[in-house]
Amino acid sequence: MDLPLSPPVQPMLAKSADAVPPQPAGDDPVWSYEPKWDGFRALVFRDRDEVVLSSRSGKDLARYFPEMVDAIRGELPDRCVLDGELVVPREVDGRTRLDWEALSERIHPAASRVALLAEQTPAQLIGFDLLALGDTDLTGRPFEDRRAALLDVIGGGPSCHVTRATTDPTVATEWFHTFEGAGLDGVIAKRLSGAYVPNKREMVKVKHARTADVVVIGYRPHKSQPGIGSMLLGLYDGDDLRFIGGASAFTAARRVELQEILDPLRLGDDVVHDGETSRWAAGKDRQWVPIRPELVVEVAYDQLEGDRLRHVARFLRWRPDREPRSCTYEQLDVPVRYDLADVLAGGK
């Protein structure tokens, strides 16, 4: 590819916040707000007929979305690099919303299955940043300029779109509540003057609940029924994969299904007896089965305490688009650690 930026390029990231950041009083706006799309992040590289759909981990997703390769050739400039989200929409009760399950099914090893799904559940591309156009690298320019250029080059096609944006925090807050019904999961805030900085958390994300993408490191067998009782979860801290807690409350059928998925990844036939591993069952000798850290899941959680989850997490979905080593503590919404005296009446 003969482009100012060559794949792979790591996307710019976001850090969590509890609310939409306000604009400064009496000054020009600082923030641009846009809906947070719930799909597969993809950096699109097009050099005429050559197209790469680079995932966050650097894998080329083009083989899984052949219809998007054709759409990009027909709807985007001949030579460009843009940041966006691959999504699969579907109609529910007369309204169109995002379908995560249909999107996840697109990551399939069989070419025949991919071709069938490309016809049955075609994807769309939602663009939200333009990194290069022709021979020009735009990453050092303000986001305000990059977005204006993006609007100039995308539009009118059936498969490639540009996300909405506003500088009004009241509108962004309204979006946070109303767009959830369309399958979106929050709001992203970007500095209008900001450059595009790969792999840096320069954006702000406000989500409807605390969630994290975590690595499955093992499971506990159910005490009295077939299948697993809980799934053990970990996050990377540098090169170390640390246990952070577990996810449970599965149906009987789901427990058996999960064991069938996890058993091929077992690290030998050993079962570990460890009362310290489980914070919610400290002091008890409970068995758990370690597995190879190859699978990533998204879980919902309520609070982090130290470097572990305070309560059991809730399994949301598999994340086949995420690499285990990309699952780090940086993504967590970490509460400020106060001294107890500061929290009591009369504290600072």
* 36, 190, 205, 207: the active-site residue: 36
Q: Count CB-CB contacts under 10 A for residue 274.
A: 14
Question: What is the distance between the alpha carbons of residues 264 and 255, in angstroms, rounded to a whole number?
Answer: 15
Cα angle 284, 286, 287; round to 5: 165
Q: Is the previous residue joined to 8 through a cis bond, with omega within 30 degrees of 0?
A: yes
227-240 burial, b for 16+ CB within 10 Å, e for fewer? bbbbbbbbbbeeee
Nearest to 5 by CA among 162, 126, 133: 133
Cβ atoms of 85 and 119 closer than 8 Å: no
Pairing of strands 13-16, 201-207: parallel
Examine the residue annotation and report whether 36 is marked as an active-site residue of this protein.
yes
Q: How far apart are CA 177 and CA 184, in angstroms?
A: 10
The C-alpha atoms of residue 152 and residue 338 are separated, in whole angstroms, by 48
The C-alpha atoms of residue 117 and residue 227 are separated, in whole angstroms, by 31
Residues marked as catalytic: 36
